[in-house]
Amino acid sequence: MDRRKLLQGTALGAALATPALAQTAPQVRWRMATAWPRSLDTLYGSAEALCRRVGQLSEGRFEIRPFPGGELVPALQTFDAVQNGAVECGHILSTNFIGKSPAFGFDGGLPFGLNSRQQTTWLQEAGGMPLLRAMYAKFGVVNHVVGNVGVQMGGFYRKEIRGLEDLNGLKMRIGGFGGRILAKLGAVPQQLAASDIYAALERGTIDAAEWVGPHDDEKLGFNKVAPYYYTPGWWEGSGSITGIVSAPAWEALSPIFKEIFEVAAAEQNSLMMARYDARNPDALRRMIAQGTQLRSFPRVVMDAAYKASFETFEETAAANEDFRTLYAHWKPFLDSSNNWFRVAEFTMDAFRYANPIPGR
């Protein structure tokens, strides 16, 4: 206090009273196109939190403004907008863009693939990220892991799925490799942005739709127009969310701004998952209380999907070099990681989930 008084009214005092940086206008201003409606406080909320953290850590010098899907560009054109530099960065599920390259499946998640912890491990500690970065570089894009949604639900269905025959001709909103596998099993996959799914399901233009899980699915209203809710969403071992940055914009960043973006991304990779895990239980309970019928996919469907998935991976690897390169690294990691997860994590989870909490 004495020191502050001493400095009052002097030029030095004025300079010290407020940190110089906080007064500076942003040195870097980016726009972030997301693929999510503003209503999804999980996905869009996490994009906002990432941008806020970048602003805080840079003391206002690096500003990123997020936009809901459709405001800057249509949700399904987010990748193109970043690739061609129309916006500096985007917040997407990469598997929506496997039409560009099947190798985008390794990022967002593959059927029966890595769960959320395994995905982070593969990318950050087991060599996956450099391979993925090399693939993204061909598109002029630098990729970051900015979130994970975990194992998803299998979606809402207007009719029950009792066997493989019920998949025949089923028109389902599903993107990524899941759509390709379901097509092998007779279904007709459709790609729709989040905001278009409800109306299509209500009108019967589609028979089924998957998005993420209870919290999001309830917000999008699927439970109001289809009665059966299936588990699990086998089409992604976990859904990993990707932050894409146009390569010239990334390279123009100072080292400290790159670090700020990276650490904010890592934080959201953990917090988005936590947000889903915190909100899904209540949403599922509410929907079931309102009449949603919870179902597991029949074993015959799971087995057929599993077989078709790895067949599809092998075929895709044979046809596409980027997929082949990544698959040759990913598959042994998956195998080795599963072997370890079986020993401690799964043994413990299986015991815990098999036993009720005493006194509850």
Ranges within 174-213 binding a copy of itself (CB under 8 A)? 213
What letters, b where the CB count within 10 A reaches 16 and e where it falls short, cover 278-307?
Answer: ebbeebbeebeeeebeebebbeebeebbee
H helices, E strands: number in the chain: 16, 11
Quote the DSSP letter at residue 298.
P
User: What x/- string results for residues 299 through 328 when contact with a copy of itself is judged by CB under 8 A?
Assistant: ---x---xx--xx--x--------------
Nearer to a copy of itself, 6 or 274 (CB): 274
Yes or no: say if 43 and 148 are a contact pair by the CB < 8 Å rule.
no
Q: State the minimum distance, in angstroms, from the CB of residue 250 to a copy of itself.
A: 17
Q: Could you say whether residue 53 binds a copy of itself (CB under 8 A)?
A: yes
Quote the CA–CA distance of 67 and 48 in Å, as a whole number.
Answer: 9
289 binds a copy of itself (CB under 8 A): no
**340 scored as a contact of a copy of itself (CB under 8 A):** yes
Nearer of residues 9 and 359 to a copy of itself, judged by Cβ: 359
User: In this chain, which stretch among 82-90, 96-104, 199-207, 231-239 interacts with a copy of itself, using CB under 8 A?
Assistant: 231-239
Using CB under 8 A, which of the segments 29-37, 93-101, 175-183, 339-347 binds a copy of itself?
339-347
Interface pick for a copy of itself out of 40, 141, 146, 273 (rule CB under 8 A):
273
Is residue 291 part of the contact set for a copy of itself (CB under 8 A)? no
Q: Do 142 and 136 contact (CB within 8 A), yes or no? A: yes
The minimum distance between CB 273 and a copy of itself, in angstroms, equals: 6
Does 284 bind a copy of itself (CB under 8 A)? Our answer is yes
Question: CA of 292: how far to CAs of 9, 222, 223, 230, 289, in Å?
Answer: 68, 10, 6, 10, 7
CB of 247 to a copy of itself, least distance (A): 21
Residue 34's closest CA among 65, 68, 64, 76? 68
* 341 touching a copy of itself, by CB under 8 A: yes
Q: Which is nearer to a copy of itself, 81 or 265 (CB)?
A: 265
Q: Are 287 and 220 in contact (CB under 8 A)?
A: no
Residue 67: which of 84, 97, 94, 88 has the closest Cα?
A: 88
- Binding of residue 331 to a copy of itself (CB under 8 A): yes
Min. distance of Cβ 295 from a copy of itself in angstroms? 11
CB–CB of 194/75 below 8 Å? yes
CB under 8 A: which stretch of 64-72, 150-158, 188-196, 242-250 binds a copy of itself?
150-158
Task: Return the closest-CA partner of residue 215 out of 39, 33, 36.
Answer: 39
